[in-house]
Amino acid sequence: MLENIKSWIIDIVIIVCFSVIIDMVLPKGNIKKYAKFIMGIIIIVVIISPIIDIFKQPMDLDEHLDTITHRLDIEEIKFNAKNYEQQQMENAVELFKRRLHNNIQHTIERNHDVKVVGIDLDMVEDPKDKFFGEIKEIRITIDESSPKAAVETVSKVEITSDKNKPAKDETAYTTTIEKEILETMYKVYGIDGNKIKITQENL
């Protein structure tokens, strides 16, 4: 991210400097006016290019928003833990779990064109625990008749943050859509693939 911003600033500086040189070198007249007009357009394009890139990748923006929302929900519960009574805290945690359930369902259905029919979460529920909100295991059930719930199988890739584990288990297989869901869950919510169980039901 910082590298992209640095590169963007350098591009702007270079274009502006080049524009100043052109303005100093060219004699007055129509050619100079035309050159200044062209350089002005180039500068505008360079300045707004990051905004154009964002609109080119709406899916990534949605995923970033899901990630930010998830982290804010966790931090809100942790912050209020010291002020809430026990019953209030239990209600807040239950609300957090329901929101997480709904967010995960929305993320999967939006990104993968499948129908989620069930989500069962097992997570660290003590707000005073530094690992509060961490998923121990999540079981996701999708509708087998969904358009993208294909039967095509691929080698199962271990989506995990543990660098000591092998990247691929050649003896296990999963469907293409399950592999894609595992990748999304890790990218958006930071959940390792070995904590996720995906099953398909024909409704």
**In this predicted model, what pLDDT tens digit does every residue of 178-193 receive, in sequence order?**
889 999 999 888 889 8
pLDDT at position 38: 79
Q: How far apart are CA 32 and CA 23, in angstroms?
A: 7
pLDDT value, residue 53: 62
Answer for the pair 151, 164: CB distance below 8 angstroms, yes or no.
no
Q: Is 195's pLDDT higher than 70? A: yes
**Confidence (pLDDT) at 9:** 80
* 3-class secondary-structure state, position 196: strand
Choice among 63-72, 119-128, 170-179 with the minimum mean pLDDT: 170-179
Q: Where are the domains of the chain?
A: 2-56, 58-201
Residue 189 contacts residue 108 (beta carbons within 8 Å): no
State the SS3 of 7-40: HHHHHHHHHHHHHHHHHHHCCCCHHHHHHHHHHH
Query: Which residues are CB-neighbours of 80 under 8 A, at least 6 positions away?
Result: 89, 92, 127
pLDDT for the residue 108: 92
In the block, residue with structure tokens 């967010």: 103
pLDDT tens-digit profile of 145-173? Answer: 766 655 454 445 555 555 455 444 433 44
| pLDDT at residue 171, rounded to an integer | 34
pTM, whole model, 2 decimals?
0.55
- Report residue 67's pLDDT band, with 50, 70 and 90 as the boundaries: confident
State which amino acid sits at residue 30.
N
Phi and psi at residue 141, to the nearest 5°? -115, 125
**Residues near 141 by beta carbon (within 8 Å), at least 6 away in sequence:** 116, 117, 118, 119, 198, 199, 200, 201
Query: How many other C-beta atoms can be found within 10 angstroms of the C-beta atom of residue 171?
Result: 7
In the chain, pLDDT over 90 holds for what percent of residues? 13
In this predicted model, what pLDDT tens digit does every residue of 31-63 receive, in sequence order? 777 777 777 888 887 787 776 665 555 446 567
| Mean pLDDT calculated for residue range 189-199 | 90
**β-pair partners for 116:** 142
pLDDT above 80 (res 115): yes
How do residues 74-85 score in pLDDT, each as one tens digit? Answer: 877 777 776 777
The pLDDT score that the predictor gives to residue 166 is 44
Q: What is the pLDDT of residue 167?
A: 43
d(CA 172, CA 156): 6
